[in-house]
Amino acid sequence: MEWERADGADGSGASSGGGVPKGKRGGKGKIVLIVVVALIAIFAIARCNSGSSDAKNSKLEWPTSGLATMLPDPGTDRGKVDYNSDSRFSATLAKYSGSDYSGYVDACKEKGFTVEGGLNGSTYKAFNEEGYQLSLYYYESKEELSVSLDAPDEMATITWPTSGPGSLVPAPSSTEGSIVQDSSEVYQVNVGDMDKDAFSAYVTQCKDAGFNVDYRSGDIYYEASNADGAKLRIDYRGANVVSIWVDISDASSAGSDAASSSASTDSSTTADSSLITPEFKETMDSYEEFMNKYCDFMVKYTDADAVDQASMLADYTDLVQQETDWAKRISDVDESTLSDADDAYYIEVQARVSKRLIDAGVQIQQ
């Protein structure tokens, strides 16, 4: 199983880390867990506080494969590569001066990372023409540069749902997308070929469709509820990609009735525990337990002060290791052996996990 990016941390609870199995869930043979959209990058800020002594003490050998080949050589032999695949690259460059950082930004621009580029002091973010996203974070006090590069989502032609949560909002102008989640309570999709004007126009459509209660908005996001309590979040992610998320888990019966056919589908696919493959059920139950543990950690971390956050680094390291273990565990699943009951149970667990993440304040963006 390949790997898919998770978007950059921007203070909204979204992630910039990797660690999400790649693909879309459209039936058996498409097992995709949410492990974890925000797990790696929740400590992007913590790295600012805790530093990365491993990078200072490590000899850097710039990779000659993977996404690293799309970036300029940093010109230093001190640092550490954390990830390098065809979908994600991240590294920390140590003993890097401010002038080194400025020079590296210029070198990345020469490599084509100028689309929607923005230099804000110690941060530079930009896409290239193919949609690869570059993020640079410079920590002056530590003389360290964090470098990450994420591949774009794989898009395909999608048909907008006529039932379920997705049916409560208008179909966007583009039919190019990547479905993140489709259940009786949550529908989330990343839609391509939508620039900022298309994003703004779609926000207006959703307002007209009744999603104008308790709204909050900005240049690149909009969130609101409708009169029945269904929730909507729209984000312009960059590179002409818009994320749309609809959640009816807390909606009134009227809102649930609006998605009645979805509820019917859900009742027909609710797993009979006696029919679920025991090994698969144990895997999914353990996965849900891990995700609940992660959400507890996120809540604790968010409420902690800077000193306590720094002291939580060891727990974070343990969660990262568990994430790695989960990646292998899921990769080892023989999807051809899964039954319809397994398929239904997968949907149930994903819905519960998604709701738990949202309650913990984690925006799910794959």
Residues 241-251 have a mean pLDDT of 91
Predicted confidence band of residue 43 (pLDDT cuts 50, 70, 90): very low
Give the percent of the chain with pLDDT over 70.
70
Q: For residue 44, how far is the Cα from the chain centroid?
A: 14
**Is the overall model pTM greater than 0.75, yes or no?**
no
Residues 25-49 have a mean pLDDT of 44
What confidence score (pLDDT) does residue 40 get?
41
315 has pLDDT over 90: no
Better-predicted residue by pLDDT, 344 or 154 = 154
Burial (0-12, 13-18, 19+ Cβ within 10 Å), 203: buried
- Is the CATH code 3.40.50 the one for domain 156-269? no
Give the percent of the chain with pLDDT over 90.
37
Give exposure, 226-254, as e/b (b: 16+ Cβ within 10 Å).
bebbbbbbbbbbbbbbbbbbbbbbebeee
| Cα–Cα distance measured from residue 60 to residue 80, given in angstroms and rounded to the nearest whole number | 6
Better-predicted residue by pLDDT, 224 or 42 = 224
| Angle between helix 278-303 and 340-359 (nearest 10) | 10
8 A C-beta contact, residue 160 and residue 166: yes
Rounded to 5°, the CA angle 190-195-198 comes to: 90
22 has pLDDT over 60: no
Strand partners, 177: 156, 191
What confidence score (pLDDT) does residue 225 get?
95
Each residue's pLDDT tens digit, 67-87: 999 999 999 999 999 888 888
160 has pLDDT over 80: yes
Average pLDDT, the chain: 77
